[in-house]
Structure 1
């Protein structure tokens, strides 16, 4: 209610009451003869100004009561006055109520007029807000602003219907973002959607908490009432208006919304029509422009056709003239054909001579290649032996000199290979193998190579680079170094005093520039192009001062172009020369030869090279164990198992046998605990959450501190043969009985409490048998020799051995027959067998031996070390307690491992850094690395070069990713059992499942832990 209106109404009521009271008092004081009651019409007249129709009736009732009271309590009049006073009072009573009825009708009529005026004022005020070139947003803001002001609403929103039947909020009034609901609602969703569906106004009182807030800068409050009014025309809802107020909406407010809804709906529809009309107009204009363009094109085509027609007519006339000329030319051609025939015969003869010359050249180059490479290779081998310094008798400077000799010899061999293979240069088939080339290391290597030469010639050699250059560039290091070697060699050769410098900078075009400056003789301007021609020099006389073939700069320029760069020279006679090699910072592969380049530039780089990360033991174990009770000399068993229930069973059994129990629930934790606590024995599960238990076993057996610890494997999968070959003392398949676990623990106890280990050496050569026994015996290892199969069987029947070394060539029977009889007869013990033979084995023989033997060693230069390494695996001898010489032999044996020796490993990877890192890990182990840059190349490689032993498959690659490639490989029957290890840089939880589902045997995430990676590779490489 408006405050002024409330004040006026209160004043009116006071006036009515006061006047009525005054008249009543006067009526009481004066005698009946005085007609004071006539004044009661005054309050009734005042009541007609009230806004309630009931006010005249109430006033008349009060006045009637006072009229009667005045008649009763007024002073008594005379006799004649009393007679007509009652009649007067009755007449007044009737007249008062007649006046009240008239007053009530007057108020009702006045209120109706005011109400209608209020509606018309609202409609008139709203009309300007609905006309004009408006958008839905502008219309909504105009409507909300007017209605909020006119109806006293504090918050509101307008939703406009869309073509799909939903309604979107186009405008809002005082609506806080935190209180705003969804921007779009469908019919039937919420109050807005329901009002739109029913086309019915909704008046909501008692708005719930947190439904909607009316907010200001100081705070907020929920509205008292809401009204949701659909705006429809022709029965279709075009918009929905939602308003909220802190006061209340009366019936007039609701009726006003109903009255203006059709006008609002018409405006919304008009805006929609106007918008669609504008879109259609724009579409029509666009089509008109396209039509005009097409007409212009047709006109141009018509003109061209006319020109072509004229040209054809002219050509036809010309052809007729040419036909006559051809008759004359034919005669001339016949004469020329005879001449060409004679010239062709001459060319054929010359071609034959050229082929013979090329043959002689190729034979010469081949002979020269052999004559040069043979002594150079010998020099390289000897230099490498000096660099290794196995006897430890060289000084640091001598080793550095040997490294320089070896590095320079390798550079020379590479240069000879490229120069003498002239056919490859002429055919443009030189390979480019781009990789990261650290500039600092490149400068150091060049300085180490050429500084002795410069010192010998008493010249200064300086190298340097601008500080803002990248740490490395991506190009072919061999080709780059070959060019720089040639430039530095020439600079030193043609400089007699002063110095030579190599400076690396960024050229003006963004490429990397290598400036080789000298203070030598210089090159005349007219000779600066000649020096880049093959077999040409600035001084080409026979008595020239400086030697050389004249090929160096020619090859260098060709190689620079091959790398995407160029080679230029700035020089003046007597003032020195500056040769500048400019190459791109990142090599871009180009089609230079028909041969595929499997080591080409990768399309993208993602992961860092292979690395390793340290393993740690958690401070608080996930499963309580006895690690706090462990001290030096404690008898402990490490349980590597992720099943808590099975761990408790094993702990109880370990405690029953009077051992301390250590628990690790992952492979990495188990390895860390094995290295830290050095347990007496280990119980290992294969199915661990982070890595395969077999890779954990491999890591244990390849760690010098843990390889002597006996390990018993328990798993749901059957990898018995693999685990035993890797050095496990036993294997049990789940579910296992309690008795089996007790037996396994007892076997472990027997192994680490065994004081004496016995090895049976079966060898027919007495001298070799004696040397083998001396190699293996010592400390707590006893060796027993046998020269025949019969003697070996007798030893196996009467004694127990931890390991057996067997030669296949025996005087009374072969090693194959001996193994067959050992397997067939229960009376013979069957310890782990290591075949130590000098004969070459066929594939069938190898497969036959694999059924009985844990390892096959072919006698050779490195075989004693390998034999010692394999035997130590099965006798569980602590490596640190061996003599230093045997420890050195074990280190040498592990440098190249039998499981990797000669194995073909296909790396499917598009990142050259990872290729380089994996190759650096595998090749020193003896593996033969083959490379494919994506899944498609891998499939082609397998089809063209079968016999791959292991695939390392990256997941994210161009053309075909690793998942798809793995599926395609598994579709081929011949590759159904080919081991595939998936490599990926992603860390999503489902990566492992995706890889295994596609057909991968195992999975390892980047960056790779080298030890874990090697363990995994050993597990899956076929033995």
Structure 2
């Protein structure tokens, strides 16, 4: 926006503000005056309303009292109310329920039923003004009038103001409704503002039509209902609206006149000022387009005149700077256009001499302390003289320019045609990265101007860059040539590498395909292994079931002694072969479980002596028919209690000792137990047998590997025993190694971690009591395999035990109660019946829960017996294990209790338990659980 327009706009705004402020002040004064006067009138009207309203209520009350006189009120009807100031009379017919009945009423009273409550009446007649009265005879009446628009308009005329009836916070009746309906919203706003204030508080609000002034009246005696009502007394200030309208037109007239007058005066008195500003604006626009020759005329000696002078000086400076920038730009363009060193030096020297008005000049390139002339202007092109080089050395060393202005010290210069005396000589070092790369020598017949010196100082840096780049360009050309040669060589190598890479890609693809094939083979192998494990488990079950029957019945036949001679030998061979076959099945199953990672450890606290005795008992029959000496050497405490998997350790020891006996025809077999470390227990099985070569020692722990074919034929075996022992040793976090010399025997070293629990004390020798005769109670067998049932029956019958079999169709609890067995033998591998539901039914019944359970499993999974109250648990075949268990059970029945051990950490319970368990035949011992229990028991 132009400044002249701004001046006019400022004047316009000032006039508008002044006129508007004056009008607002005048309006405020007049409005407040009118509002104050009207407020007084409104308060007077409100007081009049209170008077007439009370008079209105008194008339109603007088008429009611007249009607309820003793001789009149029983016969009140609607006709009697028509000429009275009363619209309804109601009678309370039941004081407890507050039910009402109408005595008499006239329109517009609305009564819908014979009996009703006061709240129901008020809901149907919302504009009713109700009063109460109790007659001398005790009857209570409600009477009143229905307030309508006509009556409200009559009151409004009497008080000289308008009235609004507010029912439940809403204006429902307004006096002069046809006129005042447009103020309904404003009346509602006035009520919202005044409802929380006292009577006769004032409210004023300007509206679109007129200004509203209102006050409130809240009757002090509300009707005996939950509904309240108030009155808004208001008046409309038409004078305020007219005042605003007149002020609006007056403001427009005065404002328009003031604006026009101010614009005319401003235009006349600012003409010269605006012209001077216009000249400055035009000159500035010319400068923006690059014209620095346009100056403005000074027409006054005031601030604008001084501004014009300063502007002209600024234009001159801008013109000089523009020319300097142009020369600098041309010099940079010149440097960048010529790439070679000779071209840059020649063109740069020519430009410097022309711009700075020098006469002669030269450029020297510096290399170390030497300088070589590469370009001259106005001089003969000659090589540098020794004197000239000596003059340049201190300049190169000090990196400072030299000026000579004395004519006596300067030589006469000749260019071949003319000779002249120099009056000024400048020798300027050219620096790049604080290193002198060249020297510029300039001479003239007069001193250079200040602008020339400034120009020279400005271009020195660019000249240094240009000369350095030119030298670098030469070096770059040499590098490019060398790189081209190297690139050719690299290209040849790249071709060779590319061919090799293609070969590698092909090999990678083949390897990827092979990897896919191997992955498929791996999956097939894993699937085959899984199927193999499933097959072995199934086959072992199918084989072990009949084998258990064969072994059990064979042992029973041999033990009864009814077989002699050749038949005894034949049955013995059958028994031995059966045991060998059962061992083979067990080995295959163990190997399958190890390969599948499903073999689990069951750690328990056990005596070392018990482990050795059990293993020794198992292999003792093998020594009988051989001329060898077997002995056990204890180099460790035999009474030491350790924590390990008893079954796994015994299995390894039996296998190692059986092998030693098998491969030893004469000499000794020794089991040495030692403790080489505090955390390690070692078993050494030493024999004087055939021995094992170093070559075969590497493979004997592999599956199905034996020393040679001859061994297999002579000694038998499958090659699984040592492999399983090795894997079990690893599973126990132990080790199994062998040391052997062919012909001298072998030593197998089996080590396991030593976890000490304690040492067992020497047992107290007591007189063994006789167990008596075999009990008359039967043994209940829960078994679905007929062969196993027959075998168990034969074993138990041979010892005088009666056997009964559980019928799967019958209830187990009923069977147990009826037979009252000494024990229940349960096969965990039944398929047609849920074994665990049978066990649970027996243990959950209070009459059968004390009967002992003996669990039989075909798999070596002792975890199956955990969590159940059982007497014993063993693995098939049943045979001797079942007999031993039944004998122990029979011996324990009726045997008196001699020792009672109570484990309790609450000492306060000791006396109570002692009194409950006290006996002359039993000793009571308490153990504090704060200490290791096993240590206190030992």
Same fold (TM over 0.5): no
Structure 1 or 2, whichever has the larger Rg, is: 2
Give the TM-score normalised by structure 2: 0.29
Q: Which has the higher strand share?
A: 2
Give the TM-score normalised by structure 1: 0.27
